[in-house]
Structure 1
Amino acid sequence: MSRSRFALVTGCGQGGIGEALVTEYTRRGIHAIATVLPQEASDHLSEAGITFFPLDVTIEKSVTDLKASVQKLTGGHLDILINCAGIAYTMTAIDTDVVAAQRMFDVNVFGPMRMVYHFHDMIIRSTGTIVNIGSIGGIIPYLYGSSYNATKAALQHWSNTLRVEMAPFDVKVITVISGEVSTNILKNDAHRQIPEGSYYSPLAENFKQHVTRTPQGATDRFQYAANVVAQSLKPRPPAWFWYGSFTGMIRFLDTFGWRTVWDSMLWRMFDLGKLKQEHCTRITDSGS
């Protein structure tokens, strides 16, 4: 008699990718284990009959407590680990609050590191799969996302090395390069503003519209989840799986374009011409 298969997904708050992933695993007959922050609502999981535990990936004891619970539930096996927990911090590079950026690195980069450090033995025992949720932000210099982009670039390169190091144990590692997906990740950034006196003050209204936007053409998160889950169940999955809006174009330009291929596109997209003009006017006025 074959044993049950288990998939652990971090970051399964309501409205996010993690919730869609555990829903898809459950639909496929795999025992999904979700995590939510200790203070976060979990009704959406309990109502769906999905197993969940509290977890803060930035706290070592929280991760070890989760491991004890998962070991008890699964008998020491874990077939799939998806590092999905993540937060965003939107701001210009020159106005970045380093403390906020450090917090984001602790969740987006060191969180997956903690999870793999503590759960690798269970995954090796199951010759399982690790999935790290990356982003096109780790590929292109998307404005106002320098710190977030840096976390995803770091995660993606760490994931690359992890893949090579886990190969001798027959553990598969997939790095997902996510395009624009319809989630609520920007909910905590909606209040953010360009600081008074910033060189980017002329674009303060543009920035406000950016952090409160509803992304156009974004991929449905349940469609995204169905495709990511399908890849995670393959015996020979791709090292990088690109999926979501705009990934086709970005993958092509990243492969064949020059390093600054994005600059002119982003200049127009974020109205940097207006910023340049305002800056030149300010210099002229101060010199007169």
Structure 2
Amino acid sequence: MRRPVNPFELPGKWYKGNFHCHTNVSDGALSVRDAVAEHRKRGYSVLTITDHEQTNDIAGLSDKSLLVINGMEMHPVLPRVGHYHICGVNLPGGYTSSRASRKAPQPCLNQAARAGAVNILAHPKEMSHTLDEFIHLKNLHGLEVWTSLSELEGHVGSSEDEWAAAMDAGVFLTAIGSDDTHWDPKHGWRDVAAAWTMLKMSSLTVANVLKAITTGATYASGGPTIKDFRYNADDNTVTVKCSASTIIDFKGPKGLRMSRFAPAGKSIRSFTCELPDPWPWVRAVVTDDHQYQAWTNPIQNRDRP
């Protein structure tokens, strides 16, 4: 499995990002400029506009506090029925998917990567993706572990199972949280800013955003903050520190799990334990009292492959 970095051990600061957002250029209700303004108000530092099969004019929308990146939600044919949903991050204005890219996922991913994009599989739980529909794909860099619109519309917002299955098969995809907002008034904007990706970077640049996604310098969240997560080889322990939570899980391969539960009416903010020897890697999942969660990427246990 490709080894992600541990962002909690890297220098830099954390930036809040969203890599899946629609506007009235496709099927969203707000203009590009208004969508950017709403994310700025909500404390985001990175926003990718991903309208369906269309890029946007984003000139002049970035400033020192918010980096706006051009993107597109691409829809190559899914053989069993319908289409894949893949968010290409950092596509040039005027980008167009070729005929071959619309017919199959691999040409789609390859074309976008050649254009400078990193690619994220969107809401696989909602799409009922089986592992063999994406495990073989090259130039796929991330997976939406949490998508707030999918949860709002069909209670299928968590794709942790699909993400974990890929890891069990030896494929690591960076954890991404996205709201997939369409600004639909019928939802009361409850999907907006209800999912995000935290990126550890030395500065706010497109190059650093792409590097964070490709190396795993992220964690995904729908609420909790993860403050530290690291493995200590000297005593074979793993530790996570977080905002107030009710459950903290360490998860390994094949559904292995160790948990700490807060006493009734109380909260917990850390968990340390010794790892069982068979675990080659470990990741943390934090759950707060509203059942909102946050997910780290896995870190390696010792020098196991």
Interval of TM-score (by shorter of Structure 1 and Structure 2):
0.3 to 0.5
Q: TM-score if structure 2 supplies the norm length?
A: 0.37
In the superposition, the TM-score normalised over structure 1's length comes to 0.39
Q: Give the number of the structure whose residues are more often helix, by fraction.
A: 1
